[in-house]
């Protein structure tokens, strides 16, 4: 029997500059990361969306991941652009495989352990 999970959204800040000046040519690193992530092979219940700003400008490229009323939401930062797509993909696939958003500490990459900007409780907190 296949386990089904609630939908998961990966929100990628397309305006992030990753510390680069405002006058850089071409797409910003955040937009490059978003484009690289959209091209990845995701579980059927994961959707990647771009957003204009996550207000985390001092912490490189940022992403947020959320999934239903029972999962924790996370904001991660300090990504540098498209080169981090595999790192983000790995972390979000692990998140998507949980029913509550809590990936065991030792299963998270060092980057995800050290660059969690925010952890937001589920809409319905279990008793």
Asked if residue 17 is part of any domain, the answer here is: yes
Q: What is the pTM of this model?
A: 0.90
CATH code of the domain covering residue 31: 3.40.30.10
Give domain status of residue 3, yes or no: no
pLDDT tens across the length of the chain (127 residues):
456 888 999 999 998 876 676 777 788 899 999 999 999 999 999 999 999 999 988 788 999 999 988 899 999 999 999 999 999 999 999 999 999 999 999 999 999 999 999 999 998 776 7
Query: In terms of residue numbers, what domain contains 61?
Result: 8-120
Looking only at the bridges linking them, the beta strands covering 61-66 and 8-13 are antiparallel
Instruction: Give the separation between CA 15 and CA 28, rounded to whole angstroms.
Output: 6
Total domain count, the chain: 1
User: Is 1 part of any domain?
Assistant: no
Is 126 a member of any domain? no
In a domain, 125, yes or no: no
Quote the tokens at residue 67: 């999934």
């Amino acid at each position: 029997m296949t386990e089904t999970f609630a939908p998961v959204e990966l929100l990628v800040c397309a305006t992030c500059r990753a510390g680069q000046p405002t006058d850089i040519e071409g797409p910003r690193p955040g937009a490059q990361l978003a484009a690289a992530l959209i091209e990845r092979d995701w579980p059927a219940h994961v959707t990647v969306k771009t957003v204009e700003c996550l207000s985390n400008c001092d912490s490189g490229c940022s992403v947020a991941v959320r999934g239903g009323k029972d999962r924790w939401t996370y904001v991660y930062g300090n990504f540098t652009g498209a080169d981090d797509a595999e790192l983000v993909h790995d972390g979000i696939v692990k998140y998507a495989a949980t029913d509550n958003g809590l990936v065991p500490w030792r299963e998270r990459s060092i980057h995800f352990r050290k660059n969690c900007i925010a952890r937001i409780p589920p809409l319905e907190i279990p008793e």
